[in-house]
Amino acid sequence: MSRRLTRWRMLWLTLVFSCAQAAARLPPIPAVAQLDLPRFMGSWYLVGGIPTPFERHAWNAVQTYTLRDDGSILTTLTFHEKRADGPRRHTEAPATVRPGTGNAVWDVRVFGPFKSQYKVVWLRADYGAMLVARDARDYAWLFSRTPQVSAADRAHARQLLADAGYPLEHWRDIPHTARTGSHR
């Protein structure tokens, strides 16, 4: 593992633990009631959100979920850094569904034994767009099955985060260009 990636992960963990302490005073963010895992699997375009330091300069970001035979999920994120033709970044992380959550709350193993909460808090009925948030209110991700999301969906996601106590000044729209398809 590169020193740069390790440094980013350590910074990320420090931020997560700091934000978790502050968020402990806020109520949990409600997740969707039920998520159809097989329907949910596949590629999703990351179109906006409050990114981690690793994703902060992402272009053409695509997150892919793959259901494994043992019931766990492989999450794969690919993107170009800083510009459409920037260096390609790729990361994989295993995830497990928390029992009793309707498949909507996952524990994603960032590295080693460290896990991060991944909570689907909004899912369009047609599974065309979704919002992932964390009770720590530090990071959030708006995804779409297409490289663009409607203004109404983006506004709805931002309002949900604002209502939950997220700092929207950290929101970033993720640009997508014709090169987006090169991630698959």
Domains and CATH numbers, the chain: 3-183 (2.40.128.20)
> Could you tell me the pTM of the whole model?
0.84
Local confidence band at 7 (pLDDT 50, 70, 90 cut-offs): low
Angular region, 35: left φ>0, alpha ψ -120 to 50, beta rest = beta
- In this predicted structure, what is the pLDDT of residue 127? 98
- In this predicted structure, what is the pLDDT of residue 20? 47
Q: Tell me whether strands 58-67 and 88-97 are parallel, antiparallel or unpaired.
A: unpaired
Share of the chain above pLDDT 70, in %: 83
Return phi, psi of residue 156, to 5°.
-60, -45
Of 83-87, 109-113, 127-131, 176-180, least confident by mean pLDDT is: 176-180
Q: Tell me whether strands 172-173 and 129-133 are parallel, antiparallel or unpaired.
A: unpaired
CA distance 88 to 69: 29
Return phi, psi of residue 110, to 5°.
-70, -50
- In this predicted structure, what is the pLDDT of residue 6? 56
Local confidence band at 74 (pLDDT 50, 70, 90 cut-offs): very high
Q: Whole-angstrom distance between the N-terminal and C-terminal Cα of the chain?
A: 23
CA distance 95 to 92: 10
